[in-house]
A and B are shown apart, each in its own frame.
Chain A
Amino acid sequence: MEFILQPWSWWFSGIMIAAIMFFLLYFGQSFGFSSNLRTICAAAGLGKSAKFFDFNWKAQIWNLVFLVGAILGGFIAREFLSTDAPVLISEATIQDLSKLGIAAPESLQPAELFGLDAVLSIKGFLLLAFGGLMVGFGSRYAGGCTSGHAISGLSDLQVPSLIAVMGFFIGGLLMTYLFLPLIF
């Protein structure tokens, strides 16, 4: 049981993610989580205002079920499989983040971003909103997210996916080194 409660190693998690991708292929689908965002828009009837959401979304219900599973998985991991111990990030990262005013980890996520006080402040709310907005806009613009491009696309040696992943890092590095110090 100790083994399960500890954080899992990168190699085991990598193997499991590849296994999930192959199971989805075997079940006649493909691994790409952000498609759900488009499906949700379509299911909400937004196809009336934008043609992009006018498609047979019911063929994507399997992915929404996968999404529901992911919620349950997060819940199960918290309730039964973890100790909610601080994330053991490197000392260098802790030092860098402290310069931004973000304290060393006490659990899985920083209270500075996801705690109630942060969420209820205007700045904190806007940060979460803009973060989500850019992820949603960017993933559809790029035609996929981490699962669709970095895992599925790279596994198929797709050049577009490699370009997208380079984009992920251009944006990620800009945010990390240029914008985060301005924001915090």
Chain B
Amino acid sequence: MKFIKFLLLGIVFGIVMTKSEAVSWYRIQEMFRFQAFHMYGIIGTAVTLGVAGVALIKRFRMRDYHGNPIMFNPKEKSVVRYLIGGSIFGLGWALSGACPGPMIVNIGYGYWAMAIVFFFAIVGTYLYGLIKNKLPH
């Protein structure tokens, strides 16, 4: 039962991503071609509210429902891994028109072909785990 709240949040996520068309390959193409405000509006609104909310959480040292302070772990400092890793991600994002969340939502929507994309995303993650130590970070 302690997981039901995460199930509900996942359902809301799936519905919102579908209804905002953020799961559509067309919308991702439109975004990378800078031909509409739509995707930038979604991400921009979320980040604007996110920045304000995170600042408030830190300012008032808010706690989660367990009573623990809400912590934000700074990501490790680097440029190479974020730039190269991010670029590889971007290549895949623009080709398949979906990042990992939307892939899953698409499968629920009935686009079974996305299961192939998601399966190979797992394979890609595994490949990274295999050669991680040989890559510049």
B3–A137 CB distance below 8 A: no
> What's the Cα separation between A67 and B121 when bound, in Å?
14
> What's the Cα separation between A137 and B51 when bound, in Å?
28
> What's the Cα separation between A161 and B83 when bound, in Å?
10
With A7-B21, A37-B100, A89-B26 known as contacts, the answer to whether A119 contacts B129 (CB < 8 A) is no
B35–A81 CB distance below 8 A: no
With A65-B6, A151-B47 known as contacts, the answer to whether A136 contacts B81 (CB < 8 A) is no
For B129, the closest partner residue in chain A by CB is A52
Give per-residue flags for A55-79: 1 if the beta carbon is below 8 A from chain B beta carbons, else 0.
0000001110111111111111110
A73–B18 CB distance below 8 A: yes
For A5, the closest partner residue in chain B by CB is B19
Chain B residues whose C-beta falls within 8 Å of the C-beta of A36 in the assembled complex: 100
Give per-residue flags for B3-29: 1 if the beta carbon is below 8 A from chain A beta carbons, else 0.
101111111111111111111111111
Chain B contact residue count (CB 8 A cutoff): 110
Chain B residues whose C-beta falls within 8 Å of the C-beta of A143 in the assembled complex: 75-76, 81-82, 85
Chain A residues whose C-beta falls within 8 Å of the C-beta of B76 in the assembled complex: 143, 160
B41–A108 CB distance below 8 A: no
B99–A33 CB distance below 8 A: yes
Chain A nearest CB from B131 CB (Å) reads 9
Contact partner of B64 among A28, A89, A155, A168, CB < 8 A? A28
Contact partner of A172 among B65, B90, B111, CB < 8 A? B90
Residues 131-145 of A contacting B (Cβ, < 8 Å):
131-145
Interface of A, helix, strand, loop or mixed by DSSP? helix
Contact partner of B110 among A8, A62, A72, A78, CB < 8 A? A78
Give per-residue flags for B61-105: 1 if the beta carbon is below 8 A from chain A beta carbons, else 0.
000111010101011111101111111111111111111110111
With A41-B125, A128-B116, A132-B117 known as contacts, the answer to whether A25 contacts B95 (CB < 8 A) is no
A92–B33 CB distance below 8 A: yes
Chain A residues whose C-beta falls within 8 Å of the C-beta of B85 in the assembled complex: 137-143, 164, 167
> What's the Cα separation between A132 and B11 when bound, in Å?
23
> What's the Cα separation between A174 and B72 when bound, in Å?
32
17 A-B contacts (beta carbon < 8 Å): A14-B45, A15-B45, A25-B64, A27-B5, A29-B6, A34-B125, A52-B129, A65-B7, A70-B104, A73-B13, A135-B92, A145-B101, A146-B93, A151-B47, A170-B90, A171-B86, A171-B90
Additional pairs, 12, CB under 8 Å, beyond known A69-B10, A96-B29, A136-B127: A17-B45, A21-B46, A41-B122, A77-B109, A82-B19, A93-B36, A128-B116, A138-B86, A141-B128, A153-B75, A154-B51, A180-B95
